[in-house]
Amino acid sequence: MLSFQAKLLALLALVIFSPLASAHSWVEEYQVISDNGSYTGPRGYSRGFVSRADPTYNGFSMMWMLPSLEARESDGAVRSRINSSDLLCHPAQRTSNYTADFPKLKVSPGDYVAAKYLENGHVSLPWNITGKPPGSGTIFIFGTSQPSDTEKISDVMEWNTAGTGGNGKGFLLTAQNFDDGRCHQINCGSISEQRQMLTPNHVAGQPTSTVESWCETDIKIPTNLTAGTLTTYWVWQWPTEPNADCNTPAGKDEYYTTCADFEIVDKAEMNKVAATPTQSVAAAEANPQSVAVSDYKSRTAYTSTPSVVMQQNNKIVGKVASVNSAFVTACSAQAPVISQYSLGLWPEVFVPNSCSVVSTFGTAAASAAAKVFDSAAASYTSGSKSAWSAAFAAAKIPLPTRSPWSEAPNTGAAQPTATADSATPSTTAAAAPTAPGSYAGSSSAVQFVTSEYVTTITTVVTMTSQPSGSSAPAASPSSYASSSAPVASPSSYAAPSSESAPPSATTYGAPSGAAGAIPTISTVGNASPSGSAYVPSVGANGTIYRRSHARNFVRS
């Protein structure tokens, strides 16, 4: 019989549950947000910026992860937590080293700024990695007028909104979810498909184009700053929770950072800057988005106050859940079977290997697309259920469960005000969803029980013309026609034990040149995942440019 420690160590050698994400994130550019919510003026960049069009560019030119993959403890063990020696900034970003091609951002006190980045699947495919926090983690942006070439992440994470935390050399500007509610890669996941319709990103002059929508973190420049330099530290905290991922039963830290300087100028100078045309960028870096997210002044986070766990002298310092021995035992027993079946995703999640066009024309086309989707999903789910059933039956333990992705908690945290002289730290965030339940020992095999249901069906009708005297719908929440009552569903489909309505969309973008878009979100609840009967029909008095449908599946 293997000891608990032996089982824990053995897991490190096994290839199990979750594949690594293909890429990570950093700030691509900064831009001031005008009073009407549009981006204005020239872009600014991080220190030591390397363009994607540069021949020397590679995946590590801008990415800085802490702790690094090479980080070790004094005894040679892999270090999974940050420590007091970890430098905050990328080696190329430890000094203010700007060029004419990639300058600092110019801002004035009171301005709002968007720090833009790619989501790289962390938002649109959150199920690809087990044990990650809701909202795809938290972005903290800190500011200081006393930057150090040897800034430590452990020092900066102690700064607060009042500027009195830690060594007192800086302050917390904002804490926001990594997911801004709009951004998405172009992929086949239900999150991306819905956002491609409700918050599309089009190339200017090409209303039928669909391109990736970048994420952003929004900050307000403190009003009490004077002319000079404000150094900012963008810190993405994306940990793995303990007792959630068999690769890391004790959990682990994962931070990504970007360090940048802003040049603070007065309002008169800023008005001149705002009138300067936005510089052109290489096609590899082009982002046609022209407006900020609608709530850029009030973004929030599930975790609004920095919390740090460190590893010092081979010991964990900070509050973290202890490793559950039953979880480790379960992982150890499951690993060979999971490896044999090459399981990389939880069985309730399906994303096709190839994308069909998201836009469909009319209910007949939507129905045909639904049948193809249903067939592929059924095939995948059947094989996945069998494989997982075999794995857990072999381990003789109950199947772990987790909340469906549609049941993300509402943000309950107050937004920390972006001022250096703020006197009150932000309130505590609402509790995040619980990690997968404890693995109780069991001597009998269990059956794999999965319920499948549709939580929402989204239909977007975009019109290119309307009858004389008709006005286009306003781009605001009031233009949404929503059905709050669930559509009647077959009695054979039982509702899940805990079901919540999906979060309502707050904005949308119509293709350039279109007269308007009418999005309709129908909450279906526990409807059968098959059949065109659940594809809603939206009437439109005008010329229909596009009618799009997407269905959000949950399998739990």
Taking each helix axis from N to C terminus, what angle separates 4-11 and 325-341, rounded to the nearest 10 degrees? 40
Q: In the prediction, which pLDDT does 274 show?
A: 78
Phi, psi values for residue 161, rounded to 5°: -65, -25
Taking residue 307's Cβ as centre, other Cβ atoms within 10 Å add up to 12
pLDDT at 5: 54
Q: Report the pLDDT value the prediction gives residue 377, as an integer from 0 to 100.
A: 54
Cβ–Cβ under 8 Å, residues 441 and 466: no
User: d(Cα 278, Cα 61) in Å, to the nearest integer?
Assistant: 24
The predicted pLDDT at position 413 comes to 39
534 in Cβ contact with 551 (< 8 Å): yes
Smallest CA-to-CA distance from 63 within 92, 85, 86 is with 92
Q: Which residues contact 421 (CB under 8 A, 6 or more apart)?
A: 162, 163, 222, 224
pLDDT at 291 (0 to 100): 93
What integer pLDDT is reported at residue 321 of this predicted model? 86
Backbone angles phi, psi at 228, to 5 degrees: 150, -145
Q: Where are the domains of the chain?
A: 25-317, 451-556
* pLDDT value for 314: 77
Tell me the backbone φ, ψ of residue 216, rounded to 5 degrees: -150, 150
- Structure-token pair, residue 211: 């391109």
Question: 325-341 vs 362-395: helix axis angle to the nearest 10?
Answer: 120
Q: Which tokens go with 332? A: 């150890």
Question: How do the pLDDT tens digits run along the chain, 556 residues long?
Answer: 455 555 444 444 443 333 334 458 999 999 999 999 999 999 999 999 998 888 888 878 999 999 998 898 888 888 999 999 999 999 999 999 999 999 999 999 999 999 999 999 898 887 777 788 888 999 999 999 999 999 999 999 999 999 999 999 999 999 999 999 999 988 767 677 777 777 788 887 776 677 889 999 999 999 999 999 999 999 999 999 998 887 788 999 999 999 999 999 998 888 887 777 776 665 556 778 899 999 999 998 988 889 899 888 778 888 888 898 888 887 776 676 666 656 655 554 445 444 554 443 334 444 455 555 556 556 655 666 676 777 667 767 666 555 544 444 443 333 444 334 333 333 333 332 223 333 333 333 333 333 434 444 444 544 444 444 444 333 322 222 222 222 222 222 222 222 222 233 222 223 333 334 444 444 444 444 444 444 444 444 444 444 444 444 443 3
